[in-house]
Structure 1
Amino acid sequence: MNYEPTQIFFIVLSGIVLMLLMSGFIIVMVLLHRQQQLRNRQKMDNLRAEYEKTMLKVEKEIQDQTLSFIGQELHDNLGQILSLAKLTLNSPDEENYSEGKRLINHAIKEVRSLSKRLNLDWVKEVSLLDFISGELQKIENFGFCKTQFETDVEPIELDLDKKLVLIRIIQECLNNIMKHAEPSVIYISLAQKKDSLSITVKDDGKGFDVDDKSKGMGLHNLKSRIETIGGKLILSSIIGIGTEIKLLLPFE
């Protein structure tokens, strides 16, 4: 088949135009892909920065609470032990001397225990189950209200960061209950499935309107914190009935 020069020109021109269109399409796709990569990288950087910010804030809050606890222990517990030891040792009675030595040894143990809490070593050593039991026991010791703790969970190993966040969230939930709920019972339960850990904090107090914006900031902070470690918070509350907060943390 013989082509006229004009036909050959149009065929070549069409080929060039098609090649330019293909090249332009490829360039556009490459640019879009790079933009998506940049957006993804920026998103990951933002998530990492938010995670680090949350962890620093959580560590500071736990340290502040620990210092407050230590101050109270020094005043109420250790101070009394040392005062009693002083009074005992001032007596010439040999039995009192032995009792004084026992009290001093007890005071030394208390100081060592408190020194560990000045950093976050206690968080590494304590299990989540023991922490929850201890917090509820303190509430009962204060005479605030009754508590219940139920779990079918075997002792679990959690990353320190995840444990820190969970500890702080549970502390915040309990603090909010004691400040606002006026309950007769605080109930905490742990359940473990194949792929997740469920922690439920519930009370039979006053309850509140979950749509009340004045109470939204504290809830938002709790949700943000659990989300930084890949978890989820579910809240339900009925005025006059009580409040339930469920924390869901997936296992890797």
Structure 2
Amino acid sequence: MSRYKAPLKAARGSASNALKQQMTVSALEQQRQRIAHNLHEHPAQTLALLQLHLGQLQQHPDCESVIPMIKELRRLAKDASQQLRQVIRELDEERPKAMVIDDALRARVRDMHVRFPGSPSIQLDLRGPRKPLDGKTCTTLLRVVNELLGNLCKHSNAPEALLSSSCQKNWIIVTLADRGCGFDPSRPTDGFGLHSVTSQLRALGARLKIDARTGMGTSIRLMIPRGRTDECHGGTERAQ
């Protein structure tokens, strides 16, 4: 009987780890929804009230000398309100839902061009699985891709980039590569923006590989575990 103890113990350990991972992702999603609710209930309403009071103050007969300052404050409050609504919308949209990964990547690129006018041209080579990924996996993956696209627009100085997806044995591979200014991955930076999703990637058993050199561009590969599938398709296209 002793020969069965080791496999049984390993199976129990694997099941326990899987349960812990699911609990971690669920807790993070609940926290994200709570943050979105709190942002809507407090800062968003405060900014709306600020804009209202500034508008009323601007109509006061004794405030002629400070009208330019009031206008600037109203502009800043409006910009902050728009940015806050965008954050709330993104948090709300990131609730787990199953999606075909290639369709979701195309949508992320379209959103990027709306958020960052004049952003790099993105060539797409999408050959991911045809079946939708489960909601939690897809949501976490897209959250990371969103961070990568934002960094591409803000830091890479690259005129174009390649976003690709493929199936390789038990993995789904998503890669974003550019020939921009690059960076030194050995030097920690607060601006990279992936710290917030590291624990979620770990909970999925996903891997992140960074290949970058200063002045030589950047290539970031995401490897997401998936049951072996040959259902990959697609081809090269360009998103403007």
TM-score range, shorter chain: 0.5 to 0.7
Once the two structures are superposed, the pairs formed by residues 102-141 of structure 1 within 5 Å of their partners are: 119-120=92-93, 124=97, 126-140=99-113
Where structure 1 has 5 or more consecutive residues not aligned to the other structure, the ranges are: 1-38, 68-115
Question: Rg larger in 1 or in 2?
Answer: 1
Q: 1:192 to 1:242 in 2, by over 3 A?
A: same
Picking from 146, 169, 174, the partner of 1:194 is 169
Deviates more, 1:52-61 or 1:238-247: 52-61
Q: How many angstroms apart in 2 are the aligned matches of 1:250 and 1:40?
A: 15
TM-score normalized with structure 1 length: 0.53
Q: How many angstroms apart in 2 are the aligned matches of 1:126 and 1:41?
A: 26
Which residue does the alignment assign to 1:143? 118
Q: 1:135 to 1:243 in 2, by over 3 A?
A: same
Higher relative contact order (CA 8 A, sep 6+): 2
Q: Does residue 230 in structure 1 map to residue 213 in structure 2?
A: no
Q: Does residue 246 in structure 1 map to residue 213 in structure 2?
A: no
Q: Give yes or no for contact 1:123–1:164 (8 Å, CA) kept in 2.
A: yes
Q: Hey, which of these two has a bigger chunk of helix by percent?
A: 1
Once the two structures are superposed, the pairs formed by residues 140-179 of structure 1 within 5 Å of their partners are: 140=113, 142-179=117-154
TM-score normalized with structure 2 length: 0.56
Report the alpha carbon displacement of residue 133 of structure 1 after superposing the two structures with TM.
Answer: 1.2
**Is the partner of 1:143 in helix, strand or coil?**
coil
Q: 1:249 to 1:137 in 2, by over 3 A?
A: same
Where structure 2 has 5 or more consecutive residues not aligned to the other structure, the ranges are: 1-12, 41-88, 228-240
1:187-245 deviations in Å (ceiling 9; x for gaps): 11001023110000112211111111234873444433211112111111111121111
**Is the partner of 1:124 in helix, strand or coil?**
coil
